Amino acid sequence: MRAVLVIADGMADRPIKELQWRTPLEAARRPALNQLAANGVSGILDPIAPGIPPGTDTATLALLGYDSLKVYSGRGALEAVGSGVEVLPGDVAFRCNFATVDQNFVVLDRRAGRIANEDAAKLAESLQKVKLKKSLNVEFFFKNTVQHRAALVIRGHSLSTAISDSDPETTGKPVLETKSLSDLPEAKRTARIVNELTREFHKVLKKHPVNKKRAEHKLPVANMILCRGPGTIPKIAPLSEVYGIKAACIAAVPLIRGVCKIAGMKLINVKGATGTVQTDYMAKAKAAVEALKTNDFVLLHVKATDVASHDRNFKLKIEVVQKIDEMLRFMLEHVSSDSTYLAVTADHTTSCMTGNHVGDPVPVVISGPYVRRDGVAEFGERSCARGDLNRIKGADLMHTLMDLLEKTKKFGA
Amino acid sequence: MRAVLVIADGMADRPIKELQWRTPLEAARRPALNQLAANGVSGILDPIAPGIPPGTDTATLALLGYDSLKVYSGRGALEAVGSGVEVLPGDVAFRCNFATVDQNFVVLDRRAGRIANEDAAKLAESLQKVKLKKSLNVEFFFKNTVQHRAALVIRGHSLSTAISDSDPETTGKPVLETKSLSDLPEAKRTARIVNELTREFHKVLKKHPVNKKRAEHKLPVANMILCRGPGTIPKIAPLSEVYGIKAACIAAVPLIRGVCKIAGMKLINVKGATGTVQTDYMAKAKAAVEALKTNDFVLLHVKATDVASHDRNFKLKIEVVQKIDEMLRFMLEHVSSDSTYLAVTADHTTSCMTGNHVGDPVPVVISGPYVRRDGVAEFGERSCARGDLNRIKGADLMHTLMDLLEKTKKFGA
């Protein structure tokens, strides 16, 4: 027995007036999802707890069976690991943006015009050469990832994540000084290091040839690095140890790849998988079918539903759901229904009205040979609420799947 | 977006044979409640946990989003605060009754004939003048509230709530000596203080002119103060801090007012709101509509359903539900359905058969613009159990309401 879990990021939603108070999922053509419901057991799931908006990081940890309220230690390290940056225990890692600021350090563009990978790579190479004062006794690693995104890892003695972001998370406001959020000397030291890096990075960026060229071409210059989400590696046992399984991950976005890597899963690279709405859905489906041949458990993550939601574009969200449905159709046709459990859920509800993650539960279905089929014939936020799984918590799903695979341990005797 | 939460105290019940095995709620005419269900998402809610009978105090804390299993610290302080008595951190406060005892201290009437407020006030004034031994090094504050009810606060060093009640909670039994429930010297000292006060209070009461007059009029004399429910102020952050909201409370009974005051809510006084079956339901509804103009969240509490239940009067309970339904009709007609969430629940199930709080879940509905309407068309213990909220816990309701108001914080990124 094997299992594949498809996570459609932010797929769940609230009812939308323009859709006659249906959700985008409910409004989408979704024959494969409905077939899964008909052949499965459905329910709703609180990734963290009712009414608590989950982050993609905390929710994915929960969906992999971990207690994210206990193990979560910030997004930065997860994303850095997912970008192929090494993060060791004790390191503090940040999510960074290349940004555009004016002479008063007021942020004009948080993404420096969504700077191209090539430009960002050249800038990152120069930033890595910055020499910090010896007295700080610290190393750093800076790497660009996709477009304006980058990771910063600082490594040395006595570091802390109890510091504030330098990223104001909006335009029109100045870059923030990173402050210690604790009286511990580690926090004060870490804040000093980040502030020092911010200043030194700016010195290099403002006179960099890449930026001079960008200015000539009327492109926003990438003259600032904004840092946010300081984090360390969560202390979790890999899935191979928890369940004795071989597990693989098919995901394009660094954050998910980071979570899965830390969970000991094999990261499968799929050509055309981009983490955008234009991702190659079918390529991911094929990769999942292939991965199932050599793995007990495969996680397939699609970011596009969340992208459409954050853009408040419910029409696009419907289209993405329909693409996901076609992807699932392919999987249904190419995995053995006798020996495969296929589960689908979302990591959180993202409202197309507000563009934000919200705390509503998400629908979930587990389809496969020995589940207690419940007569739910549609996959949706409301139809699944009437399914026999009832209302479960994030980590319950993985436990249930692993139990179907006979990979759980009896509690008691 | 704003929200109002109506708590009908003990409204939920078990099926009653005389009602053809319907509950009083199910048997009541309740068009407004049913309309809320039709326009909302329903469910059942365990204020504490399945099968655990909640107190009104622990349930209200939970319904305001607090973890009452962690923060609850006895009823006495909550009720004292709600009666306008100051309780500081470290103080131990009690709920007290004026009672009638015979010469052997056997309780004849736990409410001294539901003594009138005027008589109780005069007696309380005299009790406040009692001088305790200097060596005890303690202050006390005694205040009558409604009829036979009163609050006692003791203030000084080294006090504890780990002591037993002096109130036997029944007639025909003697007043109990307060005992230490712990080996801690603080508990022993507190028990000694309460026993000393009980003796001194009795000395003053038995020869008090008010009681002489009561005896002449054949009224039960109030010659004893019974103490129960020692408590301290729970350590909770106010709602303004937890959610950044402005919140108000419309409730007549001191216990609810105390909980809400400690939660930092504004207490709104409503003329005619009495905490009895004869309360002015419409005045409360009008006050809630008014309060919603200047508050993000309004709690409206009605005690009458619980009063009827404790009296084992299911016919009266049905009448009270119908009054509450009329109150809700007014609210439905006077708040904007585009920008207001209206939630209704009970703080616990009270059985008209036993007259006691029981551990059955309570029905809950959240009506408003962006909830996932679920097709439940009736508000009742059983119909709501089929709603899409499924079965949630006490604190989940507030988290869900605050999430609809965009007042929750994302966990993770």
Asked if B400 lies within 8 A of A68 by C-beta distance, the reply is no
- d(C-alpha A83, C-alpha B277), whole Å: 65
Write down the pLDDT at residue B309: 96
Q: What is the pLDDT of residues A289-342, one digit of tens each?
A: 999 999 999 999 999 999 999 999 999 999 999 999 999 999 999 999 999 999
Question: Which of A:210-229 have CB within 8 Å of B?
Answer: 229
Q: How far is B102 from chain A (nearest CA, A)?
A: 54
Q: Flag the least confident range among A143-152, A184-193, B329-338, B389-398.
A: A143-152
**What does the pLDDT look like over B78-93, one tens digit per residue?**
999 999 999 999 999 9
**Which residues in chain A touch residue B386, judged by CB atoms under 8 angstroms apart?**
386
Question: What pLDDT, on a 0 to 100 scale, did the predictor assign at position A386?
Answer: 97
pLDDT at B68 over 90: yes
- The whole-number pLDDT of residue B66 equals 98
Task: Measure CB to CB from residue B408 to each of A229, A359, A390 and give the nearest one.
Answer: A359
From residue B141, alpha-carbon distances to B96, B112, B138, B187 in Å are 12, 21, 10, 19
Helix (H, G, I), strand (E, B) or coil at A2: strand
Do B370 and A357 make contact, defined as CB atoms within 8 angstroms?
no
pLDDT per residue over B155-178, tens digit each?
999 999 999 999 999 999 999 999
User: What is the pLDDT at residue B413?
Assistant: 86
Kindly report the CA angle at A220 between A216 and A221, in degrees rounded to 5? 80
Determine the Cα–Cα distance for residues A331 and A287; give it in Å rounded to an integer.
10
d(CA B39, CA B342): 10
Q: Residue holding tokens 């400690």?
A: B262
A9 at interface of B, judged by CB pairs closer than 8 A = no
Please enumerate in sequence order all residues whose Cβ is within 8 A of that of B193, keeping only pairs 6 or more positions apart, or say none: B132, B136, B138, B140, B154, B159
Shortest CA gap B226–chain A (Å) = 42
Q: Which residues of chain A have pLDDT under 70?
A: none
> What pairs with residue B149 in β-bridges?
B97
First-residue to last-residue Cα distance in chain A? 24
Determine the pLDDT at residue A146.
82
Asked if A392 has any chain B CB less than 8 Å from its own CB, the reply is: no
- The nearest alpha carbon in chain B to A256 belongs to B413
Tell me the percentage of chain B whose pLDDT exceeds 90: 97
pLDDT tens-digit map of B225-254: 999 999 999 999 999 999 999 999 999 999
Task: Supply the pLDDT for residue B69.
Answer: 96
pLDDT tens per residue across span B103-155: 999 999 999 999 999 999 999 999 999 999 999 999 999 999 888 999 999 99
Task: List, in order, residues 6 or more apart from B218 with CB less than 8 Å away.
Answer: none
When scoring B338, B345, B389, B410 by the number of chain A Cβ atoms within 10 A, the one with the most, hence best to mutate, is B410
Contacts of A118 (CB under 8 A, 6+ apart): none
Q: What pLDDT is attached to residue A305?
A: 97
Mean pLDDT score, B28-51: 98
For the record, the structure tokens of A324 come out as 């996901």
What global pTM score does this model have?
0.92
Give the pLDDT score at B384.
Answer: 98
Mean pLDDT, chain B, rounded, equals 96
Burial B298-311 (b: 16+ CB within 10 A, else e): bbbbbbbbbbbbbe
Residue of B nearest to A48 (CA): B411
- Check CB contact of B413 with chain A, cutoff 8 Å: yes
Question: In angstroms, what separates the C-alpha of B53 from chain A's closest C-alpha?
Answer: 22
Chain A residues with beta carbon closer than 8 angstroms to that of B412? 48, 54-59, 68, 72, 75
Out of B386, B396, B403, the one facing A358 most closely (by C-beta) is: B403
**pLDDT digits over B175-201, tens only?**
999 999 999 999 999 999 999 999 999
Mean pLDDT for the stretch of residues B37-43: 98
Name the residue with tokens 């007259």: B355
pLDDT, mean of residues B346-373: 97
Residue B146's pLDDT is what? Answer: 83
Percent of chain B whose pLDDT exceeds 70: 100
pLDDT bin (cut points 50, 70, 90) of residue B64 is very high
* Cα separation, B152 vs B228, whole angstroms: 10
- Hey, which residues 261-280 in chain B have their CB within 8 Å of chain A? none
Average pLDDT over residues B359-381: 97
pLDDT at B185 (0 to 100): 95
> What's the pLDDT at B275?
87
